[in-house]
Chains A and B, each alone.
Chain A
C-alpha cells in the first residue's frame, strides 16, 4: 500500500497542477452541454394509438389511450389546465388518462425528449425558454392541425372549429400555409395608463402625435416620467410599438414585407417615420435608467405613478395584480397616429393570438393531443381560461357575459372600437430569433443610447438581409 503514497517525486506539484488544469479545462461548462442533447436516433417513431373516426370522435382518437400534456407554468399559471380543460376533456373521454406535468423551462425539459423521439402529445410552447417553433416544424416534430380546424366544434357539430374563432386566430401558428401551432390567448396591445391618475389630472388619452407630445410635456412638467419600457429584458415591447406605428402609417403590408425579408423593407418610409417619432420620445420623455431595469421593476414604477405610459399587451393587469394599489386602475389606449396621413385610423390596434400549443407528431398519441386542443377551443374551456387568467382567448364571444376587470374591459372596448382595423402584427420575432435579438438591441440603441432612426433602419435592414442569405435558417413567408 505504502508505495502509492511514498513517492512524492512522481506526482509533484507541477504535474498535479498540469493535470488539474486539464481537468478544469475539460469541465468548462458551456461546451460539453451542447452535445448532451444531440440527436440519438430521430427517424424511428414510437407506436401511435388511433381509433375509429366517427361523428362523436372526429379526430379518430383511441378512447382508452392516455394523452400526455406539458403546460408552461408562467403568467397564466397552470390551474386553467388542471381545473378547467382536463376535467372537460375527461368528461367526454373518461377512460383516456391525462398525464399532466408543468415546467417553467419548456426547452430545457422537452428538447431532449423531442430529439430522443419520445415527446409528449401536447405542449404549451411558451415562456422565455420556449422551443423554436420554426425549427420544430422544419424537423417534422409538430403535427399538422388542419384536421383539427376542419373538425366539428366541441359545442356545435354543425360548425367547424375554425368558424368558432376570431379572425386572425389561425394565421400566427401557420407555417408556409399549414397550421402547426394553436395560438390560444388573445392579446391586444396598446399604451397602458392609470385611468384614476388621468381623471385626477384631467388628462385625456391622446389620438394624434401632437396631442401625445403635448401631454408628455405636461406630464414631464408634473415631475413624472411620461413614457418608458424595460431595456434589460423587455425591449421587444418597444419593438412592437414601433412596428405598430409603422403599420398604422403604411398598413400591415409594411410588416408583411419585413416578415418576408424583402430587401429594403426596414428602410420603408413608414418604418423610418415610426422610428423617428419614437426615437424622439426616447430622447425627451423617458428615464435613461430604464435601460438597466427589468420589466417587473418598470411596471412597479408605473403602479407607483412614477411612470405614466407603458407599451404592453393585455396580460399586464393580471401580471401586476398583486402590486396594483387601489389608487391605480389599468386602462389602455391605441398608439396615437404618427402623421396626419396615416393609412389606418387612430383606433387601429395590434391584436394577436399568442401562447402556442401544438401536438407532437412523434408522440404516442398525437390525435389525443389534438382532441385536447379541441376541448380547449370549446366555449366552456375558453370561458374557464378567461376567468382564471384574466386573458381573452381566440374563441369568439367566449368572454361575453363574464365580469371583466377594468383593464380587460378597457382592452375589450378598444378591440371592438378597432373593428376590422385590428391587425395581427408581425411574425419575424418567432420565425427568426436572430433578427428578434438584433431588434431588441437596435431599439435600445435608438431609444436610450442616442441612436437615430436612420441607424436603426440600416442596422435592421442589414440583419434582415443577413438572415435572408443564411442557408442554415429555414425561411417562412406570409401574404
Chain B
C-alpha cells in the first residue's frame, strides 16, 4: 500500500492546512505588517516605520505588563505542577503498597473526579465565580467567613495582591487537568520499580522524588510548556476579574490585555500589532528555551 501513502496524507491535511494558512498564518503576517503602521483600526493605513516599537520601549505600562507576564510564567508552572504532582502521586501511589499493587489514598477515585471539575467550567464562568470569592466586602466568600471584627481583605482591589489572586485562580483551574495527565503518566510506570524500591525501604517521599519525578520527566516538560503559554495569555481572567480591567492602576495588566485595549478601545491597532509582535517573539523564545534547558535523556524503562 506504499503508493497510497501520500494521497492519503494529503487528503487528510489539505483542508486543515488551508484553514490554518488563511486564519492563522496569514493573520500573523498581517500583524507584522500592521505593526509598522499607525492604523487606527478604521480607515486608511499609513506606514510609520518602527515608531510603534520606540513608543513601546518608553511605555511604562508595557514594561509593567511584561513583568506581570514573567511573574505568571515563573509561578504558574511551578505551583501548578507541584500541586498536580503531589495530588497525582497521592491518588496513584500515596496509599502504599498492598497485594502487589500500588494504590492511591482512600477515596482517590472520587477525588480524581472532583479535581477535574474546574476544567469543565468555561474560563469566563470561573472568573465570575472567583470575582465573588474575592469580593472585598462581607459579601465575598472568603471575607464572609471571617469574624465580624475582622477588617475585610481587599484582594483584587489591593494592588500588591491583585495579581496573586489572578494567579491563584489560574492554578485552581489548571491543576485538575495536570493531575489527570500525571496520573496517566504514573500509570505507565511499572509496579516492579515501586515494589523494588519499597522492598529496599524507600518511604513515600523518596518514592516521589527518586522514582516518580524522573520517570515522569517528559510529561512534566509538556506540562511546563503548556502552562507557560497559558501564562502569556491570562486575558480572560484579567478582563473579567480585575479592577478597571488591568488595574488597580495597572497592577494586573498583561500583554494580551494591553493588545485588546489598544486595538479595540483606544483605536490604535498599529500599536496593538506591535505589542502582538513582541508577544509573539516572547512566546517563541520561551518555548525554544524551555525545550533546550529541560533537554535530558529520557529514562528507559
List residues of A whose CB falls within 8 A of some B CB: 1-4, 13-14, 17-18, 20-22, 24-39, 42, 107-108, 111, 114-115, 129, 131-132, 134-136, 138-141, 231-233, 235, 287-289, 291-293, 297, 433-434, 437, 440-441, 444-445, 448-449, 470-474
Q: Which residues of the other chain, B, contact A35 by a CB distance below 8 angstroms? A: 26-28, 30-31, 34, 273
Contact between B43 and A449, CB atoms less than 8 A apart: no
A107→B40 contact, CB < 8 A? no
B246 CB to nearest A CB, Å? 9
A218-B297 Cα distance, complex, nearest whole Å: 73
With CB as the reference atom, state the residue of chain B lying closest to A294. Answer: B131
Inter-subunit contact A3/B235 (CB<8 Å): no
CB–CB A115/B42 < 8 A: yes
Which residue in A18, A30, A132, A444 is a CB contact (below 8 Å) of B248? Answer: A444
- 1/0 per residue, CB under 8 A from A, across B154-182: the answer is 11110100000000000000000000000
**CB distance A25 to B284 under 8 Å?**
yes
CA–CA, A134 to B266, complex, Å? 10
Q: List 17 A-B contacts (CB under 8 A).
A: A1-B1, A3-B1, A4-B8, A24-B229, A25-B287, A38-B39, A114-B42, A131-B42, A135-B41, A141-B43, A232-B157, A288-B136, A289-B152, A434-B266, A444-B244, A444-B247, A472-B48
Are A292's CB and B156's CB within 8 A? yes
Q: Chain B contacts of A1 at CB under 8 A?
A: 1, 4, 8
User: Given contacts A28-B279, A135-B43, A231-B244, are A21 and B287 in contact (CB under 8 A)?
Assistant: yes
Q: Chain A residues near B92 (CB, 8 Å)?
A: none
Let me know if B1 and A32 touch, CB within 8 A.
no
Interface membership of B267, Cβ < 8 A: yes
The distance in angstroms between the C-alpha atoms of A288 and B152, with both chains bound, is: 10
Flag if A136 contacts B28 (CB, 8 Å): no
Does B23 interact with chain A (Cβ within 8 Å)? Answer: yes
Interchain CB contact under 8 A, A139 and B235: no
Inter-chain contact A138/B40, CB cutoff 8 Å? yes
The docked-state distance in angstroms from the alpha carbon of A433 to that of B269 is 13
Q: Which of B219-275 contact A (CB under 8 A)?
A: 221-222, 225-226, 229, 232-233, 235, 243-245, 247-250, 255-256, 259-261, 263-273
144-158 of chain B: CB within 8 A of chain A: 152, 154-157
Using A30-B276, A289-B137, A449-B248 as known contacts, say yes or no to A135 and B218 having CB atoms under 8 A apart: no
Contact flag A289-B154 (CB < 8 Å), given A24-B229, A26-B24, A472-B40: yes
Contact with A34, one of B218, B266, B269, B291 (Cβ below 8 angstroms): B269
Contact of A291 among B2, B48, B134, B136 (CB under 8 A): B136
Q: Number of contacts between A and B (CB, 8 Å)?
A: 205
Q: Within the assembled complex, what's the spacing in Å between the Cα atoms of A441 and B287? A: 34
Q: Is the CB of A39 within 8 A of B45?
A: yes
B154 touches A291 (CB 8 A): yes
B41 touches A289 (CB 8 A): no
Which residues on B sit within 8 Å (CB–CB) of A2? Answer: 1
Chain B min CB distance to A86 (Å): 28
Tell me, in angstroms, the Cα distance from A3 to B9 when the chains sit together. Answer: 12
The reply on B44 being an interface residue by CB < 8 A is yes
A139–B5 touching, CB < 8 Å = no
Report yes or no: A449 in contact with B256, Cβ–Cβ below 8 A. Answer: no
Q: What is the interface of chain B, defined by CB distance below 8 A to chain A?
A: 1-2, 4-5, 8-9, 23-28, 30-31, 34, 38-45, 48, 51, 55, 134-137, 139, 152, 154-157, 159, 218, 221-222, 225-226, 229, 232-233, 235, 243-245, 247-250, 255-256, 259-261, 263-273, 276, 279-280, 283-284, 287, 291, 298
With contacts A42-B44, A139-B43, A292-B135 known, is A31 near B159, CB below 8 A? Answer: no
- A132-B267 contact, Cβ under 8 Å, with A25-B287, A35-B273: yes
Contacts of B41 in A (CB 8 A): 37, 111, 132, 135
Q: Are A30 and B243 in contact (CB under 8 A)?
A: no
**Shortest CB distance A229–B (Å):** 12
Give bound CA distance, A111 to B41, whole Å.
8
Say yes or no: A231 contacts B243, CB within 8 Å.
yes
Closest chain B CB from A91 CB (angstroms): 35
From B48, B155, B229, residue with most partner A Cβ within 10 Å = B229
CA–CA, A167 and B270, complex, Å? 39
Tell me which of A13, A34, A141, A289 contacts B34 (CB under 8 A).
A34
Look across to chain B and name the residue whose beta carbon is closest to the beta carbon of A39. Answer: B45
Q: How far is the CA of A472 from the CA of B46 in the complex (A)?
A: 10
Please give the distance in Å from B138's CB to the nearest CB on chain A: 9
Q: In the bound complex, do residue A449 and residue B42 qualify as a contact, i.e. CB atoms below 8 Å apart?
A: no
Q: Is the CB of B42 within 8 A of A21?
A: no
Contacts of A33 on B, CB cut-off 8 Å? 27
- With A24-B225, A111-B42: A293-B137 Cβ-Cβ less than 8 Å: yes
Q: Which residue of A lies closest to B156 (CB)?
A: A292
Given contacts A31-B276, A231-B157, contact A22 B287 (CB under 8 A): yes
Residues from chain A with Cβ under 8 Å of B272 in the complex? 34
> Judging by beta carbons under 8 Å apart, are A36 and B266 in contact?
no
Closest 4 CB pairs of A and B: A139-B43, A292-B157, A292-B136, A35-B30
Task: With both chains docked as a complex, state the minimum distance between the C-beta of B297 and any C-beta of chain A, in angstroms.
Answer: 11
A43 to chain B, nearest CB (A): 8
Bound-complex Cα distance A293 to B243 (A): 8
Say whether, besides A36-B27, A291-B136, A231 and B269 are in contact (CB < 8 Å).
no
Across the two chains, which residue of chain A brings its CB closest to B229? A24
Task: List, in ascending order, chain A residues with CB within 8 A of B291's CB.
Answer: 17-18, 21
Contact B249 A289 (CB under 8 A): no
Please name the residue on chain B nearest to A235 by beta carbon: B244
Among B2, B157, B273, the one with the most A-chain Cβ atoms within 10 Å of its Cβ is B157
Q: In the complex, are the beta carbons of B259 and A30 less than 8 A apart?
A: yes
Alpha-carbon distance A297/B276, docked complex (angstroms)? 35
Q: Which residue of A lies closest to B230 (CB)?
A: A24
In the complex, chain B residues whose CB is within 8 Å of the CB of A441 = 244, 247-250
Instruction: Flag if B23 contacts A32 (CB, 8 Å).
Output: yes
Q: Given A4-B8, A27-B24, A291-B243, 10 other A-B contacts at CB below 8 A? A: A3-B2, A4-B9, A13-B218, A25-B287, A28-B229, A31-B28, A32-B28, A139-B44, A434-B266, A449-B159
